[in-house]
């Protein structure tokens, strides 16, 4: 089936679901709320999130619980599109989902390491769906890291993380989590070779830019906070980037200072990091804002290819992230101006 036939119905469904996105005026008013309770009430009374929140007593919702609720609602988007696809494109949707399943694995594994109860771990699971490829129940029941690794045998993740899990006691979680992140991009880049030429180009470009920005954020943080050898920094980068070659990653990993890092960083990525004033929470916001512009362009172009669905899934995720960030700021009574610094819609 050609792309026009494949995506006509998909794009129509996306248009319907996009109607749930918050308008700028609603984000404004949410930012103006003076407390966590007031912001939750606004979401319930004035936005499409009523469909999610109507099942709960608002006064019983705390920030952590609400985050889980919103993320679980987000992941339902994947289930809505499964029946539109078969063959390679259905497998592609499953690979898209990996990125979120990975976040659950990280949380569960950290919880097992610090001896959280099974009930506590179950309450933290946010992204389980019919697309899940792991046995959540078996993983949550694991008594230690070794049995947790055993629970992941047979999954796509096992080969990527087996060695790093065994070294967690000595090295901590960073290499383990980097290996998980790498598994997603490795599987995606390998798989898109099976797709139509246009879809392959789109996904290689967008995922490559994501990888570039993850790598730059890591190298900068490593130079600012950690006393690591350049070889160690380079070893934790992901090799599937768009603009940054392996040689460029090596060059940046070997710089002597943050100042030299910025001196050697060129092109549009340089502006992202400079606009953040080198503050970590602003760097993440600027990265998401940069990516959001890419997704919005795909949304406006409205082509009969994978870009419309992919941009919708990413934009829906960013809205979920922004709402959670605003709610978190209200929990600490952060004012409008400072709250706006955390979200992608206000720069």
Is residue 204 classed as helix, strand or coil in its secondary structure? helix
Dist CA 214 CA 287 (whole Å): 9
Is 259 part of any domain? Answer: no
Cα angle 121, 124, 126 (rounded to 5 degrees) comes to 130
Q: What is the dihedral of CA 175, 206, 241, 82, to 10 degrees?
A: 50
Is 17 part of any domain? Answer: no
Neighbouring CB atoms inside 10 A of 140's CB total 21
Is 120 part of any domain? Answer: yes
The helix or strand, by DSSP H or E, that contains position 96, with its residue range, turns out to be: helix 87-113
Q: Among candidates 288, 296, 293, which has minimal Cα distance to 344?
A: 288
pLDDT bin (cut points 50, 70, 90) of residue 166 is: confident
List pLDDT tens digits, range 219-231.
999 998 888 899 9
Report whether pLDDT(104) > 70. yes
Question: Can you give the pLDDT at residue 167?
Answer: 83
Percent of the chain with pLDDT over 70: 98
Report whether pLDDT(333) > 70. yes
Structural domain boundaries enclosing 119: 86-194
Question: Can you give the pLDDT at residue 1?
Answer: 53
Is 19 part of any domain? Answer: no
CATH of the domain at 96: 1.20.1690.10
Cα angle 332, 117, 70 (rounded to 5 degrees) comes to 45
Question: Can you give the pLDDT at residue 346?
Answer: 54
Residue 224's contacts (CB-CB under 8 Å, 6 or more residues apart) are 258
Question: Considering the entire predicted model, what is its pTM?
Answer: 0.93
Question: Can you give the pLDDT at residue 120?
Answer: 95
Is 38 part of any domain? Answer: no
Is 190 part of any domain? Answer: yes
Question: Can you give the pLDDT at residue 347?
Answer: 42
List pLDDT tens digits, range 175-188.
899 999 999 999 99
**Which long-range contacts link 335-343 to residues 24+ away (Cβ below 8 Å)?**
336/31, 336/32, 339/31, 340/31, 341/281, 341/282, 341/285, 342/281, 342/285, 343/27, 343/285
Choice between 169 and 23, residue whose per-residue pLDDT is larger: 23
Number of domains forming the structure of the chain: 1
Give the dihedral sign, CA 242/71/164/167: positive
Is 216 part of any domain? Answer: no
Task: Please give the mean pLDDT across all residues of the chain.
Answer: 93
Dist CA 163 CA 291 (whole Å): 32
Report whether pLDDT(345) > 70. no
Give the dihedral sign, CA 319/325/327/329: negative
Residue pair 187/203 in contact by the 8 Å Cβ criterion: no
List pLDDT tens digits, range 240-252.
899 999 999 999 9
Is residue 155 classed as helix, strand or coil in its secondary structure? coil
pLDDT bin (cut points 50, 70, 90) of residue 44 is: very high
Segment among 27-41, 85-99, 162-176 with least mean pLDDT: 162-176
Question: Can you give the pLDDT at residue 273?
Answer: 87
Dist CA 148 CA 67 (whole Å): 25
Is 90 part of any domain? Answer: yes
């Amino acid at each position: 089936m050609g792309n026009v036939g494949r995506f006509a119905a998909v794009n129509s469904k996306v248009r319907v679901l996009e109607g749930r996105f918050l308008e700028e005026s609603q984000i404004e008013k949410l930012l103006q709320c003076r407390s966590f309770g007031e912001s939750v009430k606004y979401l319930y009374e004035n936005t499409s999130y009523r469909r999610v929140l109507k099942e709960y007593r608002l006064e019983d919702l705390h920030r952590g619980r609400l985050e889980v609720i919103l993320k679980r609602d987000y992941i339902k988007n994947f289930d809505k599109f499964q029946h539109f696809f078969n063959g390679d494109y259905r497998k592609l949707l499953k690979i898209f989902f990996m990125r979120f399943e990975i976040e659950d694995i990280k949380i569960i594994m950290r919880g097992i390491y610090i001896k959280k109860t099974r009930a506590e771990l179950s309450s933290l699971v946010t992204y389980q769906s019919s697309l899940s490829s792991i046995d959540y129940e078996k993983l949550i029941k694991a008594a230690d890291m070794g049995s947790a690794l055993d629970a992941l045998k047979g999954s796509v993740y096992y080969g990527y993380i087996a060695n790093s899990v065994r070294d967690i006691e000595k090295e901590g979680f960073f290499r383990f989590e980097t290996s998980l992140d790498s598994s997603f991009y490795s599987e995606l880049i390998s798989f898109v070779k099976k797709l139509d030429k246009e879809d392959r180009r789109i996904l290689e470009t967008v995922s490559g830019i994501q990888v570039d920005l993850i790598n730059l954020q890591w190298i900068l943080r490593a130079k600012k906070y950690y006393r690591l050898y350049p070889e160690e920094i380079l070893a934790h980068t992901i090799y599937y980037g768009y603009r940054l070659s392996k040689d460029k990653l090596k060059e940046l990993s070997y710089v002597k200072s943050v100042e030299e890092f910025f001196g050697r960083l060129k092109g549009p990525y340089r502006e992202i990091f400079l606009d953040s004033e080198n503050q970590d929470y602003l760097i993440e916001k600027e990265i998401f804002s940069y990516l959001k512009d890419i997704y919005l362009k795909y949304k406006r172009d409205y082509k009969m290819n994978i870009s419309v669905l992919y941009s919708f899934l990413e934009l829906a995720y960013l809205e979920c992230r922004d709402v959670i960030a605003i709610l978190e700021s209200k929990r600490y009574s952060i004012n409008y101006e400072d709250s706006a610094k955390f979200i992608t819609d206000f720069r």
